[in-house]
A = this chain, B = another copy of it.
Amino acid sequence: MAAPVFIAGDWGTSNLRLSLVDADGAVLDSRTGPGAAAVPAGGFPDTVRGLLADWDAAHGRLPLLLCGMVGSTLGWVEVPYAAAPAGATEIAGYLHRIDLDGRPVYIAPGVKGTNLQGAPDVMRGEETQVLGALITHPGLATGDHLLCLPGTHSKWVDLSDGRITGFTTAMSGEIYALLSKHSTLARGAADWDGTPDAGFRQGLARVAEAGADVLHLLFETRARQMAGLLSPKDALGFLSGLVIGGDVAATLARHRALGRPAPTRVVLVGAPALNALYTLALASHGVAALALNGAEQSTAGLLAYFRRL
């Protein structure tokens, strides 16, 4: 077994994933822990000590590199944002170092920039996945690329010669979650397994036909059921298709409105199941997708920082 050289941690609001990584970026072991929101104030050091005790016993106290909401006001320590345009070198320059029992802990900054509507926008965690994609897919390190990191707050990222130049947050994941859990829209709907089934495709087709105006399309989830045009088992998939289809359609429309060339390919960086939904939504607009596993890119991005220490 290769020797681990550092520990990578993607510490979001709801989840922590820790990996023991070798010098080439291979993951030798991994485990999960509580999300940043579940750690009490001042509790980050003890949480880390507890989770790493056996790795420490086997390998010594390796450097720990963290990204995500752990660097926010809700996290261990608030790390200032790097300003776009920013690549690996600029972002690594903002790493915040903590010494914990002699172990160096580095927390990545987020990135602040301007969105396609000309307003301020922020990300925290996604920037590290973007940098990881540059390592695992070196073809992305030159030229212009459009990336999408689907999630609670999806990020559409412009990448130019290896640097994040701007990005736009879409509330797609949170809107779907709120409506599917709390809204009358979901009343009577069956559970949905998140796969691109007939209901999801029906939602995509509605957006393709009627436009990206999600506010005026969402109620169809209920009205179509009452009219016998949508089955309860397809309802949540349909709702997801409206939201994800609306996200993609509105993004492409915004590019057109700005006079930008239509993207021929979008690089998706996310969980495989979400990537599959966005791949289909992009295909419905004739746009190809390259789907990359978000967790793997996160580890690769933290390796990019490690190499710059």
Binding site for B on A (CB under 8 A): 112, 115-122, 153, 168-172, 174-175, 178-179, 182-185, 206, 209-220, 222-224, 226-227, 229, 243, 246-247, 250-251, 253-254, 257
Do B117 and A171 have beta carbons less than 8 Å apart? no
Complex CA distance for A172 and B254, rounded to whole angstroms: 22
Across-interface contacts of A122 in B (CB, < 8 A): 222-223, 226-227
CB distance from A234 to the nearest CB of B (A): 15
What residues of B have a CB within 8 angstroms of the CB of A170 in the complex? 215-216, 219
A182 CB contact (under 8 Å) in B116, B178, B254 = B178
Cβ of A185: which chain B residues have Cβ within 8 Å of it?
Answer: 171
User: Taking CB as reference atom, which chain B residue is nearest A119?
Assistant: B220
Residue on B with the closest CB to A251? B216
Whether B171 contacts A210 by the Cβ 8 Å rule is no
Instruction: State A182–B177 Cα separation when bound (angstroms).
Output: 10
Q: Is the CB of A227 within 8 A of B183?
A: no
**Residues of B close to A174: CB separation below 8 A:** 183-184
B120, B214, B223, B247: the one contacting A121 at CB < 8 Å is: B223
A220-B115 Cα distance, complex, nearest whole Å: 9
Q: Which residue of B lies closest to A229 (CB)?
A: B120
Q: How far is the CA of A218 from the CA of B183 in the complex (A)?
A: 18
Complex contacts, A251 vs chain B, CB 8 Å: 216
Q: Which residue of B lies closest to A257 (CB)?
A: B211
Known: A117-B209, A122-B222, A211-B254. 6 other contacts (CB 8 A): A115-B216, A121-B220, A169-B223, A171-B215, A212-B213, A213-B254
Say yes or no: A214 contacts B214, CB within 8 Å.
yes
10 contacts between A and B (CB under 8 A): A169-B216, A169-B219, A171-B215, A178-B182, A182-B182, A211-B254, A212-B213, A213-B254, A214-B215, A215-B243
Pick from B112, B215, B224: contact of A250, CB below 8 A. B215
* Residue from the list B119, B210, B229, B247 in contact with A206, Cβ < 8 A: B119
A37 to chain B, nearest CB (A): 10
Known: A178-B183, A215-B171, A223-B169. A210 touches B117 (CB 8 A): yes
Q: Identify the closest chain B residue to A121 (Cβ).
A: B223
Do A210 and B119 form a contact, CB below 8 Å, given A168-B216, A215-B175, A216-B170?
A: yes
Q: Would you give the shortest CB distance from A173 to chain B, in whole angstroms?
A: 11
Contact B117 A153 (CB under 8 A): no
Indicate if the CB atoms of A213 and B121 lie closer than 8 Å: no
B211, A117: Cβ atoms under 8 Å?
yes
Report chain B residues within 8 Å CB of A218.
Answer: 171, 175
**B residues in contact with A209, CB < 8 Å:** 117-118
Shortest distance from the beta carbon of A155 to any chain B beta carbon, whole Å: 10
A226: B residues at CB distance < 8 A = 112, 120, 122
